Amino acid sequence: MADVREGQAWQALEKQSLLVRAELAKGYALRRWFSEDPGRFERMHLRLGELLFDPSKQLVTPEVSRLLNALAEERGLAPAMAAMVKGEPINLTEGRAVLHTALRDLSGGPRRVGGQDVMPDVRAVLAQMREFVTALRSGAWRGATDLPIRDVVNLGIGGSDLGPAMATAALQPYWQAGLRVHYVSNVDGAHLHGTLADLQPETTLFIVASKTFTTQETLANAHSARAWLVGALGQGAVARHFAALSTNAKAVSDFGIDLRQMFAFWDWVGGRYSLWSAIGLSVACAIGMDAFEDLLRGAHEADRHALEAPIAANIPAQMALIGAWNRNFLGLQSLAVLPYDQSLHRLPAYLQQADMESNGKTTTQSGDRTQWPTGPIVFGEPGTNGQHAFYQLLHQGSDVVPADFILVAHSAWATALNHPIGDHHELLLANGLAQTEALLRGKTADEVAHELQQAGIVGDAAKALVPHKIFTGDRPTTTLLMGRLTPHALGRLIAIYEHKIFFQGILWNICSFDQWGVELGKQLAKAIGPELRGETSGDHDASTAGLIAEVRRRRNA
């Protein structure tokens, strides 16, 4: 069905959205729903291992939930998941399979692409990673001056940076003492030079993460890093201080990297889904190969769940359906991702790429223009920082912003250090839970007036304050509660979001696995670079031409 709006479930949901909007117009609908249905939380929450998923604070009635499940059947979520896992070429515009799920399947069974079992190659790379990581972490791997490596610098961008950087930060309590991992992605030289300022060439290893070994930003950083190293240790040091995550053996060898330090991955691994491949080498260096494989096992648990659980009990499917309900039927354009754990401070940026690069599309799988909204605007910050930044808008802004709150019951740092850090974690959890309740409940004019009276503020002063202190409530949230932030738990969480994004792409009839939207700017940048150096001239709009001229004038002044 090319037009997703023609389905019976979609049309029934459009009618239901009118009823829900009428409920919201009365004010404080979520309060009423919880009061009228004491079993709402018990009925709506789901579990996967020790992960609890609670969507009961979303603007979903039982009838809406029933119709969303019917929409999942109508749009074929389950068959789409099966097709992906089977290695079918579901990336239609590039004719590729999408099989990142194979990277985290350690069961020993076959996984095929085009009839060929890819698992022997996957296992071979994992074994190669294990050998390298073990040598590095034990000190057996030595630099050119026979000193052990103390700093690993990952040079990548997009999926070759965001995923590993997020996971490494999230799992810092698992790092090996004396070994640091850094990430450089921006072609702005300040990023690389700021990182190198605190490092010593003799004890630094660079990992160049580029499948084709042609990524402009990554190669610019890699050549500058090599110049820094060669300037201190000589050309012969490159082989002991560089590794590559790539499939371009000639380019890697020409750069000076020993091909024994080249780790392969495949064209059925999309960039933003590549954390689980050799792209995760920097993560494995930080936490060890055993912990890295536990990360893979957690993701595989979510893969099995997404494939096997019925829609009504399927966490990523329910996340996708509720997100579509908010986006397409309630007209809510954004999604805030709010992890209440500082270790997850890079998760919002990671999910921003995963979601917006996957589903920021307006072309259907058959090539037509979509006539319905697709991917939301994703943003976020860790709690409690966000509370002092943008939560004002979440509570009282004119736009309603659905939010995912991610809570962790036990502090990973307290566990790692064998003692709690004061009452910090309880205060953090209290804030997270309070925010979801506040967004649900709001505060009525009568409640505000009563509070002011209790505080001794009455008369005209109270009357003037009341409108400013009203909270309308009915701001939808989902809570995901983990027990501990372990490698397994992190893998499970990330994979759940991956499948949620994929399921939404199916609901919207778009291809979630290409990213043509990033190409045009790259093409134009290649042309503008020589113009900034005065080597060529181009045909541009008046604004771009004027800015190029102004940049040249200032750089030559």
Catalytic sites, residue numbers: 357, 388, 522
Token pair of 509 as six digits: 């009839």
Q: Starting at the edge strand that comes first in sequence, how are the strands of the sheet with 262-263 ordered?
A: 180-184, 151-155, 204-209, 242-245, 262-263
H or E segment to which residue 46 belongs: strand 46-48
- In one-letter notation, the amino acid at residue 227 is A
- In one-letter notation, the amino acid at residue 94 is E
Rounded to whole angstroms, the Cα distance separating 249 from 264 reads 9
Rounded to whole angstroms, the Cα distance separating 507 from 86 reads 20
Phi, psi angle pair for 91, to nearest 5°? -80, 85
Rounded to whole angstroms, the Cα distance separating 378 from 88 reads 29
Q: Who contacts 120 (Cβ-Cβ below 8 Å, separation ≥6)? A: none
Q: Who contacts 354 (Cβ-Cβ below 8 Å, separation ≥6)? A: 272, 497, 498, 501
Four-residue CA torsion sign, 178, 184, 189, 191: negative
Q: In Å, what is the CA distance from 330 to each residue of 20, 176, 352?
A: 9, 48, 21
Token pair of 155 as six digits: 């040079």
Rounded to whole angstroms, the Cα distance separating 407 from 429 reads 7
Token pair of 238 as six digits: 């490159």
The DSSP code sequence of 409-455 is SS-HHHHHHTS--TTHHHHHHHHHHHHHHHHHH-B-HHHHHHHHHHT
Q: In Å, what is the CA distance from 436 to each residue of 100, 368, 402?
A: 33, 39, 11
Rounded to whole angstroms, the Cα distance separating 373 from 329 reads 10
Helix/strand number for the chain, H first, E second:
24, 13
148 forms bridges with which residues in the sheet? Answer: 142
Rounded to whole angstroms, the Cα distance separating 140 from 20 reads 64
Token pair of 377 as six digits: 């605007």
